[in-house]
Each structure stands twice: as structure tokens, then as C-alpha cells.
Structure 1
């Protein structure tokens, strides 16, 4: 699931009475407004159904197409999102909602200057709406200008503190600025608005792990894994946190699950080897570390050091080597948007 959080228009005004029959009527506008509310709650599937209904009632409605484009992109339908965006990009905006809709279309099409201009025009047309600043923050974030993105996102949250979409985007930006406490607070606020949005559990768990609040991080990752049991990176990260909590058996179990899905992940073998060493399983630890050495020669020195330490200790005294930090240049930070923001590799506790 991709989480590109461009701006969503709060409501669409009904067409004037003299508009052509094909223009959206008041009922279509109400459907679109309900879709936008669901989008801001991060209820994307339900929002998409409403966007589809709105466009079914008014085929070719460019404002609705721009809004649906962002929802489709978020749900991973890039082809459908681009199709909608190309239609919405032909809008001739006349008010704040239509400027915001065209801005979203331009953002998806990577016309960043055009998107920025539209979002600023939307904010100027309606200073009370969060859509302009939310869109501007989204566009700045998409360009890697995370520090610049924070000010408009703060304004978007101020204008509508009930928008989970704005809070999630701001949390992502804070996370990449290494304001992990602020990120954890924003993700927590998202969950207060929509407790079913499991991805906020993952992101909050990652932030809490950075803050060294390991019990809370383990709890959030566990809730996320209940909803997404096959998520490899979440299991990898929970294994990390469980090791830090002294739950070596739980850490080894998580890493075994990771390896069942990705047997080529060398760091998972290295880390499970360290967990097995902490459990006193010297033979298992040596086997895992040797496999890691075969799969991940770039960390040869660190893995070999762990093997040497095991070889020097009696089997009953085998224990994990100290954590080895990898250079900052090797530790990827999250991109834009959500699930792929952490791969898990940068969170490795043991052999990094």
C-alpha cells in the first residue's frame, strides 16, 4: 500500500442551475463531499467507492477525478491514478476546491511547480480550508524538501486537527527530520481518529523504537502484525525490539518467520544467530552466522567478529556479541510515502 498523501478537497459546490445537464448536481456533490471526509479519515477503500459513485453520477467531472486520483495512488493503483490525473489536469479552476483538485493531479504527474502554484492559489481562495497548505506540504515532501514542508503541514493541522491525512503526512515529515517524539505523537493522534488504520501502528512502533521505548514499540508492532501477519519488515523490526527487551526466544521466532519469506536476507541470519547465541545455542548461532557470511559479504568483518567471539567461548557460555552500528551512510531513511519508508535493514540490532 502506498501512502502518497496529496491534498483532498473538503467539498465540491453544487453546479449553478443553468449548468448543462451533464454537470454534477447537488446529490453528486454530497457524495463527493462524503468521499473526501472518508479520505481524511484514511478510510481509503470506502472513500474510493464514494469517488466512483460521484463520477458515475457525473462522468467526466474533473474535480472528482483529481480527488479520486490521489485515493487510487494511495491504494497502489498508479495506472488508474494517472488516468484520473490526466483528466483533472485539464481543469480550468475557478475556486479553491478546483485549484486543489488540479494541484493533486499535477502532483501525481510530477509537475511540481504547477502543483505548488495550484495549492497556493487554493489557499488564497479559501484561507479557512486545509487543502491548500496540506497540498503544498505534500508537494514539498514529495520533492524531498522535508524541512520546508513542515510549516504548511503545521498550518493544515491547525486548520483541521481532525484530519488524519494531515497528521499522517506531518508525522512522516517529522520522522524523516528525526523528530521521533513528534512523529509518534502525530501517529498516535491518527489512531485516535481512526483506530483501524493499522499502518500508523507500524510507523509509531518504529518511532518509539528510535526513542528507546521498547515495550511500547513491541506493543504497536504486535498490533500491526495481527492485522498484517505476513509483513516481513515488521516481523524483522519486532525481532529487534524483542531482543532489546531480553526476549531472545521471541526474537529468534520473528527472524525465523522473516527467513521463511526471504531466505536470502543475510542480516536476518546474522541477527538470529545472535539471538541463538543469547539462548545458549552455540551450534545454531554458528550455523546462522556462517550462512550470513555467505549471503552478506559486505558485512564480513562484523559477522566474522561475532563468529570469533563464539568460537572463543564454551558452548554453555555462548552469548551475543555487542551490537555493531553500521555507518550512517548505509542506514536508509524513509522515503515518501508510507509502507516502504523503512526496509528494516536500518533497524538491525545485531550485525549491521
Structure 2
């Protein structure tokens, strides 16, 4: 039996506060547009959590319970502790807490969803698929499960199968913005530019309210336009993306290229200069800037 050292209650409260809602946020799968941001947020949380461990702090049930709302039961404690263990890279203990949680709530589909995303983050694709499928059997009309299954297939590079899963989610809710956005990304990976643009259009007309989601919708649609040499449309979409995140390196570089191709070398130089300022080590961007300046 593993003995878990105690932690001061104040410290566990601080640790939970640092991680915040990210404890339950499902990350995205492979290195697509949105994953870079998700990975950065995850790494930030990991660093903060590791600082706590460096102070010889560990996680115990009593301290977690003291940090949760009054009346929190053991299920909430286990869910919180599993997330904390994952954030500090203690994966065996995290998995053990998920397993115990399932013995208490075997018919709770959200536990399968949470553990499925845990397995995804560990790149245990078969285990993730099994949990998402189990959740779908319990709650067959909820879009979260076919969406999650699609994310696993996309992470494995199986984009056609991912699209099939997203199709199922969209049949359940034709305005499911995240499934439309994910399906568009899968089509981008298959170089189905026109189909991807249709999904990005639909996603932007749906309840896609989060600024980050809208950013990636504009960025992806702009990339589709760039790939089909629709320079004006590409610039317009990158403008929209940069209005949400003005330091988005890819959007700046891609807009520079689109501006160059549509004959606005002056604007292209401005964007390349801006990109070099953000990332001086990017050799390709420096080369493009030097080439345009030499004309």
C-alpha cells in the first residue's frame, strides 16, 4: 500500500487555485493549430505544480477536502486528486484514483470522459477509445463522446475516421461549433480546402463564442484560402485572427506571404519584420524579409 505524505492545507489550496479549471479541461490531440496553445497552458500548469513538489509537498485527501466546497464527497476528492497527480506527473496515482472513482460511480459517463482524456494525454489511444465508447453507451445522445472519439482518431492521423465521428456529433447537434471546427481541421490535414472552408464558415456562424475557438477558426480558414491562392480572403481572415491574438506568429507570417503574393510588398515587409521581432531565431522568416528588402 502506498503511503501518501501529508500536505499543509494552505499549500494544497494554492496548488488547486493555480491549476484552476484547467484540471478538467480536455486537451486537444495532435500538433494542429489549437494544440500548441493547449500544450503551452498545460506546461505552465506543470511548472507551477512542480514548484509545489520542489517544496516537498504532496497531495492527501484531507487537505484536498478542506480546499473543496462544503459537502464535497469522496468522488469529488478523487476526481480532484487524480487531476492534481496528473499535473505533477504522478501518473500511476492519477490512474489509481480514476479506477477507484469508477468503482464508486460506474454509471457516471463523465468519469469515462475524464479518464479518456487522461489516457489521450498519455497517448494511450486504445484506452482512451474504450473509455469514450463506454461513456457513449451510457449517454448516447451527447455530442461529447463522438467528438472525443474523433479527437483520438485525429491524434492517430486517422483523419477520415475522425471525420466520421465528428459527423455523428454534428448529426446530433448541427450547431456543435467544436465538432465543426475539429472536422474542418481534419479536412485541412487531408488538403480538402473547400470542404474545410465550409465547416469553418458554419463554425463561425454557430455558438463558437470563446475567443480562442474563433481565433483558430479564422486562422484555419485563412490557411485554407492561402492554400488555394485566394490571397484577399486569406489576408482578411488573418486580420481577424490577429485582432484576437496580435502576437500569433503563424498568422503574421502567413499574412505576410499572402500580402507578398497579392502585390503588397510593403505590408509583407511590415509583417515579416514583426515576425522576426517575435522570433529572431526563425531562419525562414529572416530569409523572406531579406529577400523582399533586396528588391
Tell me which protein shows more helix as a share of its residues.
2
Give TM-score, length-normalised by structure 2: 0.65
- Alpha carbons of 1:64 and 1:245: their partners in 2 closer, same or farther (altered >3 Å)? farther
Following superposition, the deviation at residue 219 of structure 1 comes to: 0.7
Residues 89 and 106 in structure 1, CA contact (< 8 A), matched pair in contact too: no
Q: 2:271 matched to 1:263? A: no
- Alpha carbons of 1:150 and 1:194: their partners in 2 closer, same or farther (altered >3 Å)? closer
Q: Distance in 2 between matches of 1:200 and 1:136?
A: 21
What are the ranges of 5 or more consecutive residues in structure 1 without an aligned counterpart?
A: 7-44, 46-54, 73-77, 277-284, 286-317, 319-352
Structure label with greater radius of gyration: 1
Residues 133 and 145 in structure 2, CA contact (< 8 A), matched pair in contact too: yes
Number of aligned residue pairs: give it. Answer: 225
Residue of structure 1 equivalent to 2:27: 4
Give TM-score, length-normalised by structure 1: 0.55
- Higher RCO (CA 8 Å, separation ≥ 6 residues): 1
Q: Distance in 2 between matches of 1:163 and 1:82?
A: 34
Q: 2:137 matched to 1:124? A: yes
Q: Distance in 2 between matches of 1:3 and 1:129?
A: 16
Deviations 1:184-213, CA, capped at 9 Å, x for gaps: 222222222225332221121111111222
- Alpha carbons of 1:61 and 1:190: their partners in 2 closer, same or farther (altered >3 Å)? farther
Q: Distance in 1 between matches of 2:268 and 2:199?
A: 28
Q: 2:167 matched to 1:167? A: no
Residues 178 and 208 in structure 2, CA contact (< 8 A), matched pair in contact too: no
- Alpha carbons of 1:242 and 1:120: their partners in 2 closer, same or farther (altered >3 Å)? same
Which residue of 225, 235, 239 maps to 1:222? 239
Residues 63 and 91 in structure 1, CA contact (< 8 A), matched pair in contact too: no
Residue of structure 1 equivalent to 2:6: none
SS in 2 for 1:144: coil
SS in 1 for 2:247: coil
Q: 2:79 matched to 1:79? A: no
- Alpha carbons of 1:100 and 1:79: their partners in 2 closer, same or farther (altered >3 Å)? closer
Residue of structure 1 equivalent to 2:57: none
- Alpha carbons of 1:3 and 1:176: their partners in 2 closer, same or farther (altered >3 Å)? farther
Residues 201 and 220 in structure 1, CA contact (< 8 A), matched pair in contact too: yes
Following superposition, the deviation at residue 149 of structure 1 comes to: 1.5
What are the ranges of 5 or more consecutive residues in structure 2 without an aligned counterpart?
A: 1-21, 30-40, 42-67
Residues 121 and 132 in structure 1, CA contact (< 8 A), matched pair in contact too: no
Q: Distance in 2 between matches of 1:5 and 1:249?
A: 37
Q: 2:263 matched to 1:246? A: yes
